[in-house]
Structure 1
Amino acid sequence: MLLTFGRPFYAPASNRTKGGARVATETSNAIDVQNAVKRYGDFTALKRVSLSIRDNEFFTLLGPSGCGKTTLLRMIAGFEDVTEGAIHLFGDDIVTLPPHKRPINTVFQNYALFPHMTVLDNVGFGLEMLGSTKSEARARAGEVLEMVQLSQFAARKPSQLSGGQQQRVALARALAPRPKVLLLDEPLSALDLKLRKAMQIELKHLQRDTGITFIFVTHDQEEALTMSDRIAVMSAGEVQQLGDAREIYDRPRNMFVADFIGETNLLEVTVDTVTDGQAACHLGGGNRLTCDAVEGIGQGAKVHMSLRPERLTLSADPTQGDSLKGRVRENIFSGTDISTILDLADGPEFRVRAPNSSRGDRRTFDPGTEVFVNMEQGAARLLID
């Protein structure tokens, strides 16, 4: 259920083109957050957060409940005061601006549609409040409803629409005033899994076609990886790591990011040597592994190592390169994948995942079988605890 959106109806200044070439402006950042702090009495919800969100970027704030991501979003929107620090929109300080004077709109989790109004009136209502005439508001509402392919539902009430359709009405309403930035506070969480996955792609297409900066809040790791140009992973009021999806997944900085993003095996290791950018490590019982060195982790350090289960294979005999010895406990079939749980000879429970396919040389072994875990080059990652 993918949508093909029409002609972009708005592009921020730094996104506009002249003769096919991008026109440079004074700043390429839509939002700059500088040492932002938010306190509620003695509790600090946000601890000196600094980050920049680029113009025309799909940027995601990702983290568990209570990590500070929604607090930061509400501070950008103006719904929460900034205790300390600054927030700039295209170079202008907006900390003292009330929400209605910020060229920013928000799509909430519950959509907040007016049940007694038609879809067209819901979308046009905000425009009238901003000073548009009724005819101007209706014309503009019609444009954005066409963009999200809901023109045929313009005369219906929200209760006559599905959850996905209601969400698109909420998006159309938020986009109608041509905001410079659109904030989305977990807007997909109320949808069922299949519709949520379809809407992820639709949202990314919408952001790309409009040229508007989207700032998306979610606790769903897969959702963030699917849609985002960049992701800020948050925990306990701080940004743990900021980067694109592949960087966050393949090169997590610390244990929290490695464990929170996707699935991983965490091993306690000791670094024996660091030579030519490679760190030689060993587990407690003698299994040895080599991986890329990480700045700040030197010889003798006791740290954790992350190994993604899909980058591992099993064999009856050790292969060339690093291998870990273990015994199979069970195999778990999950449709697209088969996960093998095993106990390492000198470590914790360990997981290896392979696609459910007859192609290739990946094998499964019966419970109780002694096997070797082999890893792709670059699969092991040292973590700053």
Structure 2
Amino acid sequence: MPQDTDIAIDVQGAVKRYGTFTALKTISLSIRDNEFFTLLGPSGCGKTTLLRMIAGFEDVTEGAIYLYGDEIDALPPYKRPVNTVFQNYALFPHMNVLDNVGFGLEMLGQSKSETRARAGEALEMVQLSQFAARKPSQLSGGQQQRVALARALAPRPKVLLLDEPLSALDLKLRKAMQVELKHLQLETGITFIFVTHDQEEALTMSDRIAVMSSGELQQLGNAREIYEQPRNVFVADFIGDTNLMQVTVDAVADGRAECHLGGAHRLTCDAVGGIGAGAKVHMSLRPERLFLSADPVDANSLKGRVREMIYIGTDIATIVDLDGGPQFTVRSSNSSRGNARVFEPGTEVAINMEQGAARLLID
């Protein structure tokens, strides 16, 4: 394979089988140099298996994996310029923080002076220099996670693999660490490959996201593409909240599709290639792209009745039953500048949508 220095990791037709079970089904993707790349999907989708194959902890059954143009399938983990941060941090309890960070450097044959210097630099990078003499048991969960990061960064790997490293942290600390991780990746210029099942986490941190399900790559793109333009039902349903319903396509013309759902309810949306009149497909409508009013505002408005309102803090979610049709969720910003308007349960309302909000999907 010709070397392309813009591509850090190139996965070509990678398959992983365990006996008769296929965990990964012909995955092909390229991860760019200096990119924060996320493998996203539910438990058992194959994302950690792919990460372990890149690290060298799992063999490739078929296909190949290249690192900056060089095939690495035959290289053992310790010979790959790749480091991994695991979910449980795996710190040595009997060592202090500085020695934990420097352990990998010692194993690589670095001198004691070089080891201490580079371990100190890594601790400074994660803002833990003042805790160098402490034992892991004397640190909080977030501080332990930073020590694990510093240990992985100290050898200056070309690629850093992160296997759900934030999952053990509480929500507030996890959100703070998401921002810190992104800043750290930008500061070091190292390619980060991050595994998570948390959709919001992926959208917050990633330059690009690979959405996986049942060992297959469902969609690859940046956060906006994945969220705003889901390729299929799985991606639309897995990424964020959406109103997902089956519709029948009545006609397609000039790039627009006329559809009906739940009997008399009709609306028009952008057409999708390969979907023609008579097709029964799914439609996705993001709750935040809908708004309620007492009367319809255009031909795409749908009539219904408020079932309940849910106060979320930042937002207000209103559940609406369509007349003889499915149930919708409408989400509005809870601010004087937002479009939140209180409609009590039982009130007849119109569900209105922003232009381009309705998206047809291929199952």
* 1:258-337 matches, cutoff 5 A: 258-337=236-315
Quick one: structure 1 residues 80 and 331, their matched pair in 2 at CA, closer, same or farther if it must change by over 3 Å?
same
Asked whether the equivalents of residues 267 and 347 of structure 1 are also in contact (C-alpha less than 8 Å), the reply is no
The residue aligned with 2:190 is 212
Quick one: structure 1 residues 95 and 360, their matched pair in 2 at CA, closer, same or farther if it must change by over 3 Å?
closer
Asked whether the equivalents of residues 314 and 364 of structure 1 are also in contact (C-alpha less than 8 Å), the reply is no
TM-score when normalising by structure 1: 0.92
Q: Deviations over 1:235-284 (max 9, x none)?
A: 00001111100110111111111111110001211112222222221113
The residue aligned with 1:113 is 91
- In the aligned structure 1, how far is the partner of 2:29 from the partner of 2:241? 26
Q: Deviations over 1:17-58 (max 9, x none)?
A: xxxxxxxx8331101111111111111110111111111100
Query: Over the residues paired in the alignment, what is the CA RMSD in angstroms?
Result: 1.1
The residue aligned with 2:44 is 66
Asked whether the equivalents of residues 285 and 345 of structure 1 are also in contact (C-alpha less than 8 Å), the reply is no
- In the aligned structure 2, how far is the partner of 1:37 from the partner of 1:380? 36
Aligned amino acid, residue 137 of structure 1: T
The residue aligned with 1:51 is 29
- In the aligned structure 2, how far is the partner of 1:309 from the partner of 1:143? 46
Structure 2 residue 363 is matched with structure 1 residue 363: no
SS at match of 2:169: coil
SS at match of 1:207: helix
SS at match of 2:144: helix
Aligned residue-pair number: 361
Q: Deviations over 1:63-105 (max 9, x none)?
A: 1100000000000000001111110101110011110010000
Aligned amino acid, residue 113 of structure 2: S
Asked whether the equivalents of residues 333 and 339 of structure 2 are also in contact (C-alpha less than 8 Å), the reply is no
Which of 147, 171, 174 pairs up with 1:169? Answer: 147
- In the aligned structure 2, how far is the partner of 1:321 from the partner of 1:261? 28
Asked whether the equivalents of residues 332 and 338 of structure 2 are also in contact (C-alpha less than 8 Å), the reply is no
SS at match of 1:109: coil
Structure 2 residue 116 is matched with structure 1 residue 138: yes
- In the aligned structure 1, how far is the partner of 2:36 from the partner of 2:27? 19
Please report how far the alpha carbon of residue 299 of structure 1 lies from its aligned counterpart in structure 2 after TM superposition.
Answer: 2.1
* 1:8-23 matches, cutoff 5 A: none
SS at match of 1:169: helix
Structure 2 residue 325 is matched with structure 1 residue 347: yes
Q: Deviations over 1:216-250 (max 9, x none)?
A: 00000000000000001110000111110011011
Asked whether the equivalents of residues 316 and 340 of structure 2 are also in contact (C-alpha less than 8 Å), the reply is no
Instruction: Give identity over the alignment, percent.
Output: 83
- In the aligned structure 1, how far is the partner of 2:316 from the partner of 2:241? 14
Aligned amino acid, residue 70 of structure 2: D
Quick one: structure 1 residues 135 and 309, their matched pair in 2 at CA, closer, same or farther if it must change by over 3 Å?
same
Structure 2 residue 165 is matched with structure 1 residue 187: yes
Asked whether the equivalents of residues 256 and 268 of structure 2 are also in contact (C-alpha less than 8 Å), the reply is yes
- In the aligned structure 2, how far is the partner of 1:342 from the partner of 1:330? 7
Please report how far the alpha carbon of residue 301 of structure 1 lies from its aligned counterpart in structure 2 after TM superposition.
Answer: 1.3
The residue aligned with 1:160 is 138
- In the aligned structure 2, how far is the partner of 1:333 from the partner of 1:284? 28
Please report how far the alpha carbon of residue 344 of structure 1 lies from its aligned counterpart in structure 2 after TM superposition.
Answer: 1.1
- In the aligned structure 2, how far is the partner of 1:134 from the partner of 1:296? 64
Aligned amino acid, residue 262 of structure 1: G
Please report how far the alpha carbon of residue 287 of structure 1 lies from its aligned counterpart in structure 2 after TM superposition.
Answer: 1.4
- In the aligned structure 2, how far is the partner of 1:51 from the partner of 1:135? 40
The residue aligned with 1:91 is 69
Q: Deviations over 1:190-220 (max 9, x none)?
A: 0011000000000000001111000000000
The residue aligned with 1:11 is none
Asked whether the equivalents of residues 244 and 285 of structure 2 are also in contact (C-alpha less than 8 Å), the reply is yes
SS at match of 1:274: strand
Aligned amino acid, residue 269 of structure 1: V
Please report how far the alpha carbon of residue 361 of structure 1 lies from its aligned counterpart in structure 2 after TM superposition.
Answer: 4.7
Please report how far the alpha carbon of residue 363 of structure 1 lies from its aligned counterpart in structure 2 after TM superposition.
Answer: 1.4
Aligned amino acid, residue 265 of structure 2: N
SS at match of 2:94: coil
Q: Deviations over 1:315-342 (max 9, x none)?
A: 1111024111111111111111111111
The residue aligned with 1:124 is 102
- In the aligned structure 2, how far is the partner of 1:189 from the partner of 1:284? 40
Structure 2 residue 353 is matched with structure 1 residue 381: no
Asked whether the equivalents of residues 326 and 343 of structure 1 are also in contact (C-alpha less than 8 Å), the reply is yes
The residue aligned with 1:10 is none
